[in-house]
């Protein structure tokens, strides 16, 4: 039996790439000098695609792969995958939930501390010699007792809440539906933002959540408030965010994700009240290995005719 042929749109970790290489005939579109020529040659035989959250797969690419049976993404987010096109063709889709939850929640807490306690500015103050020249660093704001509003109380949102409690933070949230917990539920992002000192976006990206953090929501977080985004750049109206940060109508922001990645809007890189991270919330060796292994295991289940481990479709 010939090995199934798999198209790599974006690579996995080395060990898992080696496993895939043993089990399948891999075609590296990610490395191809002439991607169109490679596709023209192999497209009719491709049965599986391996991709990532940032790369996804478009409707046109799906249409070009007539034998495609499964798309396995190394991400929990599927906003860059044309799910409607997959569904219409009966193509299975798998993602990597749970294994990345702790790291992403850790990053949210890291960004809260980095932004509210001005950790990067403090580092620069010591490194530049300003401390010796100008005296003590300005006072910052305590976390204890502040209100954290979480937009999207799913796996990651809940893990963020779990980490906020030992810091003495109060938790409020909004989601599509209220959950059975003791946290205060708000019907709309705007109502949640008016209550919050720190507002954290933890929803999926895509059309359903586009600009859910609108100009009104941003202004409701307010001049002493902080916006944290570990969700997707599309969830916030980034132009309104920049405008509010520049005008002092929003106090500060801590961002792991951006409307245009990997080139963040230069306005964000120049603002003093913004902390930045290069979409790296799941970026640890342990988590990326676990995500990559789920891709391998989902493909193995598919080609064995077994139940998928983490199906989206
Ligand atoms: P999840 O368990 O599915 O949770 C998503 C939450 O968002 C749910 O509470 C859901 O509400 C809520 N939600 C969805 N649509 C909404 C809407 N229109 N309005 C309000 N709330 C809405 O997903 P997860 O595992 O926590 O992951 C969440 C997202 O984090 C991913 O999709 C991805 O975009 C992002 N992420 C980012 C990174 C990074 O590196 N920065 C890494 C991993 C994930 P219900 O519970 O009511 O359905």
203 alpha carbon to ligand 1 midpoint, in Å? 3
How many Cα atoms sit within 13 Å of 312 on the Cβ side?
A: 23
How far, in Å, CA of 251 to CA of 263, rounded? 23
CB 185 within 8 A of CB 174: yes
To the question of pTM greater than 0.95 for the whole model, the response is yes
Cα gap 269→312, rounded to integer Å? 35
- Give the separation between CA 290 and CA 141, rounded to whole angstroms: 37
CA of 297 to the centre of ligand 1 (A): 23
pLDDT at position 129: 98
Based on its alpha-carbon atoms, the radius of gyration of the chain, rounded to whole angstroms, reads: 22
Q: Which residue has the tokens 């002493």?
A: 224
Q: Is the pLDDT of residue 299 over 90?
A: yes
Closest CA to 291 of 6, 10, 91, 65: 10
**Which ligand 1 atom is nearest residue 230's CA?**
41
pLDDT of residue 1: 84
Catalytic site positions: 232, 261, 279
CB distance 242 to 265 below 8 Å: yes
Residue with token string 């289940």: 301
Short-list 16, 77, 34, 100, CA closest to 298: 16
> Which residue's alpha carbon is nearest to atom 14 within ligand 1?
203
Q: What is the pLDDT of residues 156-207, one digit of tens each?
A: 999 999 999 999 999 999 999 999 999 999 999 999 999 999 999 999 999 9
Which residues are paired to 311 by β-bridges?
A: 94
Question: What are 14-28's pLDDT values in tens digits?
Answer: 999 999 999 999 999
Cα(258) to centroid(ligand 1), Å: 16
3-state SS, residue 227: strand
């Amino acid at each position: 039996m010939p090995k199934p042929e798999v198209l790599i749109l974006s690579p996995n970790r080395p060990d898992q790439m080696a496993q895939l290489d043993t089990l399948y005939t891999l075609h590296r579109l990610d490395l191809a000098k002439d991607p169109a020529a490679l596709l023209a040659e192999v497209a009719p035989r491709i049965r599986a695609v391996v991709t990532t959250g940032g790369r996804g797969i478009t409707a046109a690419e799906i249409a070009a792969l007539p034998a495609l049976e499964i798309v396995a993404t190394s991400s929990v987010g599927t906003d860059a995958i044309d799910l409607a096109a997959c569904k219409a063709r009966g193509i299975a889709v798998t993602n990597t939930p749970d294994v990345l939850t702790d790291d992403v929640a850790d990053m949210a807490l890291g960004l809260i501390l980095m932004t509210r306690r001005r950790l990067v500015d403090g580092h620069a103050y010591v490194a530049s010699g300003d401390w010796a020249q100008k005296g003590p660093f300005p006072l910052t704001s305590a976390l204890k007792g502040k209100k954290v509003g979480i937009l999207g109380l799913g796996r990651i949102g809940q893990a963020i809440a779990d980490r906020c409690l030992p810091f003495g933070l109060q938790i409020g949230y909004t989601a599509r539906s209220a959950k059975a917990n003791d946290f205060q539920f708000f019907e709309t992002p705007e109502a949640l933002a008016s209550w919050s000192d720190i507002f954290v976006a933890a929803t999926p990206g895509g059309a359903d959540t586009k600009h859910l953090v609108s100009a009104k929501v941003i202004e409701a977080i307010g001049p002493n408030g902080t916006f944290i985004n570990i969700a997707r750049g599309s969830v916030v109206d980034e132009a309104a965010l920049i405008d509010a940060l520049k005008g002092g109508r929003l106090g500060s922001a801590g961002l792991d994700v951006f409307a245009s990645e990997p080139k963040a809007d230069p306005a964000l890189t120049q603002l003093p009240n913004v902390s930045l991270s290069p979409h790296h919330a799941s970026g640890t060796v342990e988590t990326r290995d676990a995500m990559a292994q789920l891709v391998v295991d989902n493909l193995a289940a598919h080609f064995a005719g077994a139940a998928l481990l983490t199906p989206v479709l």
